[in-house]
Structure 1
Amino acid sequence: MTQRARIRWNGNATLAAMRQGAVRGVRLGAEHLLEVSRQRVPIEEGTLERSGVVSVDEQSVTAAVSYDAPYAVRQHEELTYRHDHGRTAKYLEGPLHEEDGTITEIIAAQVRRSLR
């Protein structure tokens, strides 16, 4: 007895869906990082906190979190400045390292979701 099977390969569609999920995951991961870092941004009037943004390059599937107040870099790097309780220098670098597992899981979850 001969049996036949027909298989349809949807590789291109699968890769496109995975890419979409990865882009969505990178965006959500970056937004998560922005929210965590906003809780640590030195604050006096809130200008620095409000200047935080997420930008995503869908072509390279990368994201950036940045603060563009004129003094953002100085506040981030100057370890001798005194800040209110819970606010600190390295307000972006610290959360990036602490949240890397969570960010990775956010991205992975979106890729998995795109394959359903």
Structure 2
Amino acid sequence: MTRARLTWNGNAVIRGTHDGAVRGLRLGSEHVLQVSRERVPIEEGTLERSGTATVDEQSLTAAVAYDTPYAVRQHEEMDYRHDAGRTAKFLELPMAEEADTVGEIIAAEMRRALR
């Protein structure tokens, strides 16, 4: 008869997946921020520089935001004219377009944490 011993490190696994998810969210939100910065309307660069990416480690949520008094208006006003490559919906579109990439980034970091 062959015997095997199994040691379950459940807490370490949970901690590792959480840490990997946090790193993945951080990298994924930074990726979306970078893509959106390439599209944000630019006059003096104030709006572009106001972009931030944050992660709430407890709730495992990430946010990308622009913080100027006119950021929402610039984002929503489809009739404004912008320089080539710059557009309204400068955050919404990259978030949708990069969703698969962000998912891959998060998955890769979680796999890396479990090695």
Name 2:18's counterpart in structure 1: 19
What TM-score results when the alignment is normalised by the length of structure 2? Answer: 0.98
Name 2:66's counterpart in structure 1: 67
State the 1:14 CA deviation. 0.5
State the 1:3 CA deviation. 2.0
d(CA) in 1 for partners of 2:99, 2:5: 43
- Structure 1: runs of 5+ lacking an equivalent: none
d(CA) in 2 for partners of 1:4, 1:62: 44
Give the 4+ runs in structure 1 shifted more than 6 A. Answer: none
State the 1:5 CA deviation. 1.2
Name 2:105's counterpart in structure 1: 106
Query: Where in structure 2 are the equivalents of 1:1-116 lying within 5 Å?
Result: 2-116=1-115
- Structure 2: runs of 5+ lacking an equivalent: none
For 2:94, the aligned partner's letter is P
Q: Percent identity?
A: 69
d(CA) in 1 for partners of 2:97, 2:103: 12
Aligned length: 115
d(CA) in 2 for partners of 1:59, 1:105: 21
